[in-house]
């Protein structure tokens, strides 16, 4: 059974402050190690539960945070950008299951370090009339590729947000939010053990229930996206792209042929936003 692990950093146990997520300081070096070890716990649990192949996708920032020498040697690591599928690169190899490790709540919520894709650029993302965070955006992409989101970890606000979207998935709550940059966390070691156990049990249950061992691509469905950006200057910039329609000073719309195309458009807009930083 093939498994893809998408690893972010904001939902990792012990991570609360933006400096922990940005390269160039000691706090980041510690946090990226915690991130790597949580990803490794998921890898170890997946293999213990019967996985035959595991890919781990570095899904934070510049996609080069994980420390490969700390990861289980049986796994393959997806690093660097740009890449077509962003936080779900690795779907091309046909995983049956997807784990989202270290994820966070969507923008404008009380989750720890909550944002959606790009905190500088995007205030709200809506797909087909539903407000979504990164888990829902990339979960739709995974499902389009025939993969099932089976395990997620992060804070309690993220778990509450994602549970209706992934009702059959397992959640590991690594910390509880009391504000955007505050809360109560498990120790990194405790969080890793919970993730390792959950990953093993998810694989074992998946096999026991007779779910498909290989992904089968689903038919792509059109996606309408409404995007609220942080400033009118960003809307000015993004609307240079003829595919976008401006609704008001900070709200834009576009249509995509599939979840994959919606993800690719959002990531292109995110990259464009760096012109205004």
Distance CA 126, CA 172 (A): 26
- Segment 191-205 mean pLDDT: 98
Give the residue-averaged pLDDT of 68-88.
Answer: 97
Q: In what order do the strands lie in the sheet with 76-78?
A: 76-78, 53-58, 2-7, 97-103, 148-155, 170-179, 182-185
Among 38, 21, 24, which Cα is nearest to 199's? 38
Q: What is the mean pLDDT of residues 169-191?
A: 98
The structure's pTM equals 0.96
CATH architecture under which domain 2-116+133-208 falls: 3-Layer(aba) Sandwich (3.40)
Per-residue pLDDT averaged across 19-23, rounded?
A: 97
**What's the confidence (pLDDT) of residue 219?**
82
Number of other residues whose CB lies within 10 A of the CB of residue 266: 24
Q: Which pLDDT score, from 0 to 100, does residue 58 have? A: 98
- Residue 269 CA to residue 256 CA, distance in Å, equals 14
Q: Where are the domains of the chain?
A: 2-116+133-208, 223-276
Query: What percentage of the chain has pLDDT greater than the value 90?
Result: 95
pLDDT score recorded for residue 200: 98
Catalytic (active site) residue 115: yes
- Residues 156-180, mean pLDDT to the nearest whole number: 97
| The pLDDT of residue 203 is above 90 | yes
Q: What are the backbone dihedrals phi and psi of residue 140, each rounded to the nearest 5 degrees, phi first?
A: -65, -40
- pLDDT value for 209: 85
pLDDT at 9 > cutoff 90: yes
Residue 86 DSSP symbol: G
- Which residues are known binding-site members? 8, 10, 60, 104, 134
Confidence tier at 131 by pLDDT (50, 70, 90):
very high
pLDDT, one tens digit per residue, over 106-120 is 999 999 999 999 999
Per DSSP, helices labelled H in the chain are: 26-48, 134-144, 156-162, 188-208, 232-238, 259-272
**pLDDT attached to residue 212:** 64
Average pLDDT taken over every residue of the chain: 96
- Residue from 17, 115, 206, 214 carrying the catalytic annotation: 115
Residue 204 backbone dihedrals phi, psi, to 5 degrees = -65, -40
Q: Is it the case that residue 194 has pLDDT exceeding 70?
A: yes
- Cis check for the bond before 89: say yes or no (omega within 30 of 0): no
Q: What is the pLDDT of residues 255-266, one digit of tens each?
A: 999 999 999 999
Known binding residues for Zn(2+): 8, 10, 60, 104, 134
**Residue at token pair 């549970």:** 163
């Amino acid at each position: 059974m093939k498994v893809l692990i998408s690893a972010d950093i904001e939902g990792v146990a012990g991570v609360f402050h933006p400096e922990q997520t940005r390269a160039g300081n000691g706090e980041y070096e510690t946090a990226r190690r915690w991130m790597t070890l949580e990803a490794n716990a998921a890898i170890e649990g997946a293999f213990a539960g019967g996985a035959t192949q595991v890919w781990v996708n570095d899904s934070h920032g510049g996609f080069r945070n994980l420390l490969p020498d700390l990861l289980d040697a049986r796994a393959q690591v997806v690093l660097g950008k740009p890449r077509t599928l962003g936080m779900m690169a690795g779907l091309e190899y046909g995983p049956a299951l997807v784990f989202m490790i270290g994820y966070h709540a969507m923008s404008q919520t009380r989750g720890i370090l909550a944002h959606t894709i790009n905190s500088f650029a995007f205030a709200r993302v809506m797909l087909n009339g539903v407000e979504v965070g990164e888990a829902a955006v990339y979960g739709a992409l995974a499902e389009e590729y025939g993969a099932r989101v089976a395990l997620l970890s992060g804070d309690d606000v993220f778990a509450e947000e994602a549970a209706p979207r992934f009702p059959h998935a397992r959640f590991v709550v690594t910390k509880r939010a009391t504000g955007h940059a505050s809360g109560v966390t498990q120790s990194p070691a405790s969080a890793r053990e919970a993730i390792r156990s959950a990953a093993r049990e998810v694989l074992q249950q998946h096999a026991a229930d007779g779910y498909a061992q290989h992904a089968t691509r689903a038919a792509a469905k059109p996606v309408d996206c409404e995007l609220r950006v942080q400033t009118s200057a960003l809307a000015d910039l993004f609307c240079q792209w003829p595919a976008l329609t401006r609704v008001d000073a900070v709200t834009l719309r576009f249509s995509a042929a599939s979840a994959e195309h919606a993800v690719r458009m959002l990531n292109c807009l995110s990259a464009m936003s760096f012109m205004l930083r």
